[in-house]
Amino acid sequence: MVMKDIFRSAGSVDKILIRNGGEGATDKAYTYLSGAVGGLFENSAIVASKDSITLYVYSLEELTARATGHSVVVAHSAQEMKDNIQRDLRGEKKIGLNFDSMTVNLYNETKELLPGVEFLDVSHKIMEARMIKSPEEISRLQEAAKISSEIYPGILSSLREGMKETEVSALMDYRMMQAGASGTGFDTIACFGENSAEPHHSPGDRKLKKGDFVLTDYGAKYKDYTADTTRTCVFGRATSEQKEIYSTVYAAQRESMLLVRDGVNGKLVNKKAYDIIDATKYKGRLMHGIGHGIGLDVHDHAAFGSADFTIRTNMAVTDEPGIYIPGVGGVRIEDDLLVTKDGFRLLTAAPPADLVEA
């Protein structure tokens, strides 16, 4: 069904070719179209038509490939891989490629491999299909969000004065794996005190002390699909200022979520959060779009920002407003939502309404 939808809107392409490069240059569309769970599939390929998918793999991943139920062609050398692809695409005139993920070198190699073929960019059509999650994808995202939510209370009880940010980050990774995650969706962020004012802070040697904000941004990965959750607490007693910042962010998230439903323009959701924060003394202290799609990538696609974007049923998105004050600290609350016709379903456990003192 997915392939028929992609081909229906992809124009006159005869086949779609997905080619993986080496480490760091593999295409998430390979995982998406194959349905494979695990495996690196470096330098492998997919040839897809509207009715079938064939995986071109090396022998070391033959078993993983065959478990997908698709046709599999096995190679034992780089030259054999090229020969197999070239043989099976001989005579095709127009082939779709995922330009968004293909390196220049791999594109040039593909042109040499298939001379005379017209290559068309179908990356936007593949991404449009990826935005709407299937029941299986939703199930995986739900499990990833469940794991992410379940480990947080244990992290709070494990906080100790003098811990480093890197220790908390490592502990969260361990707890997610212990709870059933197949990995982490991205590098876990843990930041204390003034460091929490930097939205994408990398954990360092900063040690935890009483009165610090503790901001953690993390996501369990389950069967290749990732959650994305942010929670903020205070270690020890919170000040009235810290509580006010948290309450403002919580209100921005809650009120912006109420706008989420099928057919809504994502920039209106974004604007709602900005309006709430900018109506307070923290005007200007939110400086990013408040949400994005999640799936095979932690930033799977656009969702809530300043540009026009229509959200649709069965999109999985985050809602993550924040307030960041340099030299003081920051608060961000992020949750994962599944868009429905009349609203949304929260995938993560609901965030606390009041600032937690750990």
pLDDT digits (tens, 9 = 90+) for 185-238: 999 999 999 999 999 999 999 999 999 999 999 999 999 999 999 999 999 999
CA–CA dist 172, 154 (Å, integer):
9
pLDDT digits (tens, 9 = 90+) for 134-162: 999 999 999 999 999 999 999 999 999 99
For the chain, what percentages of helix, strand and coil (3-state, to nearest 5) are there?
35, 25, 40
**Mean pLDDT of the region 59-86:** 97
pLDDT digits (tens, 9 = 90+) for 24-40: 899 999 999 999 999 99
Which residue from 121, 193, 143 is spatially nearest to 163, judged by alpha carbons?
193
- Residue ranges of domains in the chain, CATH in brackets: 2-131 (3.40.350.10), 135-357 (3.90.230.10)
**Mean pLDDT of the region 250-270:** 98
Q: Residue 344: is its pLDDT beyond 80?
A: yes
Q: What is the pTM of this model?
A: 0.95
Confidence bin at 23 (pLDDT 50/70/90): confident
Residue 7 is predicted with a pLDDT of 81
Which residue from 270, 281, 249, 271 is spatially nearest to 353, judged by alpha carbons?
249
CA–CA dist 212, 161 (Å, integer):
10
Contact 357, 234 (CB under 8 A): yes
Residue 2 is predicted with a pLDDT of 82
Residue 1 is predicted with a pLDDT of 60
Which residue from 334, 316, 322 is spatially nearest to 274, judged by alpha carbons?
322
Read off φ and ψ for residue 24, nearest 5 degrees.
85, 0
Task: Give the DSSP H or E segment for 342.
Answer: none
CA–chain centroid gap for 322, Å, is 19
Please, what is the average pLDDT of the chain?
A: 96
